[in-house]
Amino acid sequence: MDVERVFHMSGGVGKTSYAQNSSLQKKASDMMKHITMETIQQLYHEVTAKSLGIADLGCSSGPNSLSLIKDIVEAVEGSCHKTCRPLPEFRVFLNDLPTNDFNSVFKTLPDFYRDLKKDKTERCPAIFIAGYPGSFYGRLFPNNCLHFIYSSYSLHWLSKVPPSLYDEHGKSINRGNVYISESSPPSVSRAYWNQFQEDFSLFLKSRSEELVTGGRMVLIILGRIGHNHVDRGNSFFWEILSRCLAISVSQVPHCLV
């Protein structure tokens, strides 16, 4: 399956949209917010650029995409007040896969700018926001153009289904499962691990060209606490999903599983 072409979160703002169902991801980024803000403030103190390049990789659509940008701008504003330095301009790149609902994000931009201006007696920060479609598993930006790269709850998406999940006859070695579950053989978790290593190395290599010297990254990735790959926190939802899929498939007449 071509993940880059097919996968995207549910667009729009309806009941089943990602916009209305992303509080879990918001909670994760809120838990790490102190790290993000500290990092951006350190960056501001060390870098004297008049124009800050910021990228949110895997921004999706919905309120999470812009709420982080607001926090970043306000953190830099706060530091500027304290140090009496002029406010830099912000170049913000919202990246996701090409099928992401960027239009929904763009539609909320007027409100976003209005909110930022609210209660401001002084000049409003200059912010230039652009959608940036493409896979972060490869180059996205020109050399040395970003000061801060952020990605939350996105980097555990692999670039493809690991090829070693299939045997020489093209049959899955993880039959009846979605992802890694109690009944998966160890070769299944190895297959996912290898794919993650390959993808993450490519991610870091690409970003290393794009980030300026002294630039910073904050990456929030879903993980697990213990060594055991079958971790209830992670595999619980996949178990439920695979059972639902199995039941649905069993109800389709003449379906070959």
Ligand X SMILES: C[S@@+](CC[C@H](N)C(=O)[O-])C[C@H]1O[C@@H](n2cnc3c(N)ncnc32)[C@H](O)[C@@H]1O
Count of chain residues binding ligand X (CB under 6 A): 23
Distance from the Cα of residue 56 to its chain's centroid: 7
Distance CA 211, CA 193 (A): 26
CB of 95 to ligand X, least distance (A): 6
Residues 24-43 that bind ligand X (CB under 6 A): 25, 29
Q: Are residues 146 and 51 in contact, defined by beta-carbon separation less than 8 angstroms?
A: no
Residue by residue, DSSP assigns 130-179 as EEEES-SSS--S-TT-EEEEEEES-TTS-SS--GGGB-TTS-BTTTT-SS
- In the bound state with ligand X, the residue whose beta carbon lies nearer, of 170 and 223, is 223
Distance CA 49, CA 37 (A): 18
Using rule CB under 6 A, residue 192 touches ligand X: no
Only one of the segments 75-83, 90-98, 118-126, 234-242 lies at the binding site for ligand X (rule: CB under 6 A); that segment is 90-98
- In the bound state with ligand X, the residue whose beta carbon lies nearer, of 97 and 149, is 97
Using rule CB under 6 A, residue 177 touches ligand X: no
Q: Which of 64, 79, 174, 195 binds ligand X (CB under 6 A)?
A: 64
Residues 130-159: x/- map of binding to ligand X (CB under 6 A)?
A: -----xxx--------------xxx--x-x
Using rule CB under 6 A, residue 174 touches ligand X: no
Q: Which of 43, 52, 59, 92 binds ligand X (CB under 6 A)?
A: 59
Using rule CB under 6 A, residue 104 touches ligand X: no
Nearest in space to 20 (alpha carbons), one of 58, 62, 60, 59: 62
φ, ψ of residue 121 to 5 degrees: the values are -90, -30
Q: Which of 43, 52, 69, 97 binds ligand X (CB under 6 A)?
A: 97
Nearest in space to 199 (alpha carbons), one of 247, 149, 137: 137
Q: Are residues 93 and 133 in contact, defined by beta-carbon separation less than 8 angstroms?
A: no
Using rule CB under 6 A, residue 101 touches ligand X: no
CA angle 90, 218, 12 (to 5 degrees): 70
Contacting positions for ligand X (CB under 6 A): 7-9, 22, 25, 29, 57-60, 64, 95-97, 100, 135-137, 152-154, 157, 159
